[in-house]
């Protein structure tokens, strides 16, 4: 069923939103931003014409809402195909052991592990920024400078949230917005203040920034402990072999004997080999954990940073 030709920008955006209702919220946000940015620029460029006349004038160049939606769907398919990791042909279904160790061939596991290490720094920065901004805005609200400061603070949170989304998309592959939410038609200063206060995304974005500190500490500890323990155990058999060939003769003047692993049954070739196997299993498990953490975190971030009720 075809929709009547839109007679205003708001009507055009409603129709476009309805056509894209089943698509990813991040895609919808990008499409609405591009459409509104273009349409408002065209209306501003023709001050002598009404919105209806301008929309009718550019209908043949920009396209109707259903045509724009189809173009975005086609572009999204092409982008996903271009960014998808190449799949190696398999002659038979891989076993559980093969699938377990196949994580080392997944670039997302490495990028997610890097993200877990990075979140300690970003979590501190986001938390500090959110707490400082809220405290200054609330403390100076009784002065005339408080409201402009609040506007600047919220604007910066949205810019940072957009950058965080782009980082998460690069790390995890989860589709995130590539455009901000359009501010809409020019309004008064007080109307803009009310709109920002009543916008749920303002508070969910701030909640995400505050949540990033405990999450960042947790992710960092998990990654560092997993890497340290796994690499230490993996290094035990190599250290034992090197010690057998006299690589640590100078060290034996201080600490004689091979590495001491505690119980007697571990202090031997079998124990050293067992440590190496456990180290490999720990590192592989950490890679799986990192990949899972990246996927879950991206979905949590998407629920807080992306506007779902556009």
pLDDT digits (tens, 9 = 90+) for 175-212: 888 888 877 777 776 777 787 788 888 899 999 999 99
DSSP structural state of residue 307? -
242 domain residue, yes or no: yes
Same domain? 197 vs 52: no
Total domain count for the chain? 2
CA-wise closest residue to 268 among 307, 233, 240: 240
Nearest Cα residue to 161 out of 212, 113, 116, 197: 212
249 belongs to a structural domain = yes
Full-model pTM = 0.80
Residue 196: both structure tokens together: 């920002």
pLDDT tops 60 at residue 129: yes
pLDDT at 243: 64
Q: What is the pLDDT of residue 142?
A: 81
DSSP state of 140: T
Residue 148's pLDDT is 82
E strand intervals along 176-216: none
Range of the domain at 123: 95-310
Task: Give the residue, 161 or 80, on which the prediction is more confident.
Answer: 161
The verdict on 67 and 133 lying in the same domain is: no
39 and 166 together in one domain: no
Do the beta carbons of residue 302 and residue 27 sit within 8 Å?
no
């Amino acid at each position: 069923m075809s929709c009547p030709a839109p007679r205003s920008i708001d009507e055009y955006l409603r129709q476009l939103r309805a056509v894209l209702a089943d698509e990813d919220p991040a895609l919808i946000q990008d499409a609405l931003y591009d459409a509104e940015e273009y349409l408002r620029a065209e209306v501003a460029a023709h001050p002598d014409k009404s919105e209806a006349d301008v929309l009718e004038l550019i209908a043949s160049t920009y396209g109707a809402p259903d045509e724009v939606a189809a173009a975005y769907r086609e572009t999204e398919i092409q982008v996903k195909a271009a960014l998808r990791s190449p799949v190696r042909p398999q002659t038979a279904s891989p076993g559980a052991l093969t699938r377990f160790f196949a994580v080392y061939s997944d670039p997302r596991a490495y990028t997610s592990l890097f993200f877990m290490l990075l979140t300690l720094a970003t979590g501190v920065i986001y938390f500090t920024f959110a707490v400082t901004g809220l405290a200054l805005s609330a403390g100076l609200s009784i002065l005339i400078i408080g409201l402009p400061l609040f506007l600047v603070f919220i604007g910066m949170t949205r810019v940072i949230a957009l950058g965080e989304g782009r980082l998460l998309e690069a790390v995890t592959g989860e589709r995130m917005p590539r455009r901000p939410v359009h501010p809409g038609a020019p309004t008064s200063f007080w109307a803009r203040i009310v709109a920002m206060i009543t916008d749920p995304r303002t508070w969910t974005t701030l909640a995400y920034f505050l949540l990033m500190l405990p999450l960042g500490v947790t992710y960092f500890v998990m990654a560092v402990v997993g890497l340290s323990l796994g690499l230490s155990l993996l290094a035990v058999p190599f250290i034992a072999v090197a010690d057998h060939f006299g690589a640590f003769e100078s060290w034996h003047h201080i600490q004689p004997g091979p590495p001491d692993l505690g119980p007697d049954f571990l202090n031997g070739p079998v124990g050293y080999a067992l440590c190496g196997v456990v180290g490999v299993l720990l590192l592989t498990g950490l890679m799986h954990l990192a990949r899972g953490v990246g996927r879950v975190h991206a979905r949590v971030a998407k629920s807080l940073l992306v506007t779902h009720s556009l």
